[in-house]
Amino acid sequence: MTPVLEVDGLSFAYPDGHQALFGVDLHVHAGERVALLGPNGAGKTTLVLHLNGILSAESGDGAGSVSVSGLAMHKKNLLEIRRRVGIVFQDPDDQLFMGSVRADVGFGPANLGIKGAALERRVMDALEQVGMADFADRPPHHLSFGQRRRVAVATVLAMEPEILVLDEPSSNLDPASRRELADILRGLDVTVLMVTHDLPYALELCPRSVVLSAGRVVADGRTYDVLTDDALMSAHRLVLPWGFDPRSVPIDSLPR
């Protein structure tokens, strides 16, 4: 089966000469949930920004290739790739700018030419998936941070992406909102790539983790195996929260 996301030999240096990625390979199959782990400055955001062409060899000095469902990352495919790869940025306010939740969630599909009842259905389906249907007429800036994060996820789901990329989805959420978002993400029928420093969240949601460190993939395997590899963890500044031991998590509660 062709991977839904294929990154091969991706290298990238920013215009100031700083090389952030060195020959990164990442293949993700449809339906997988993969965590992208790594210390600050590892290159995670740089990699994510290549997945829908925000960064490319033209924005700096790069090599290698990215393709989505077999579509190569070329200018002519960019619009289609951006529809297929939905990125939820860390700050929901980067994605919410309209006067109502309905307008924000409808903005992307309306740009694709969807209108009327079909548009309303897309919007309400996406809001229902994140448990925010009752908030459709509220101004986004009147919502709490956790509610805005869920609406930001809905803006991306409304585009019916093939791959949902989430940058630090659990950051700044209270424990209840963090749990609710985990339940929502677990229930979605979409391929997920999740950048996170929240290692228990990765273990709970993603069967597979890829570790990026100093611009290179240094591990790619079962999240449980990554988090219990003490030498790997300390070599790449990955630290479990105090009191959290993955070995004490019942194996049959881990995602498959």
Ligand X SMILES: Nc1ncnc2c1ncn2[C@@H]1O[C@H](COP(=O)(O)OP(=O)(O)OP(=O)(O)O)[C@@H](O)[C@H]1O
Cβ at position 124, least distance to ligand X in Å: 34
**What gap in Å lies between CA 70 and CA 160, rounded to an integer?**
18
HSE of 20, CA atoms in CB hemisphere, 13 A: 25
Cβ at position 132, least distance to ligand X in Å: 27
Q: Which is nearer to ligand X, 90 or 100 (CB)?
A: 90
Supply 21's token pair: 């990625």
Please give the span between the terminal C-alpha atoms of the chain, in angstroms, as a whole number.
Answer: 19
Q: Which is nearer to ligand X, 19 or 65 (CB)?
A: 19
Cβ at position 61, least distance to ligand X in Å: 11
Q: Which residues bind ligand X (CB under 6 A)?
A: 14, 16, 18, 20, 38, 40-46
Q: Which is nearer to ligand X, 132 or 217 (CB)?
A: 217
Q: Which is nearer to ligand X, 43 or 53 (CB)?
A: 43
Residues in the chain, how many? 256
Q: Which is nearer to ligand X, 47 or 96 (CB)?
A: 47
Cβ at position 44, least distance to ligand X in Å: 3
Cβ at position 247, least distance to ligand X in Å: 26
Residues 130, 153 contacting (CB under 8 angstroms): yes
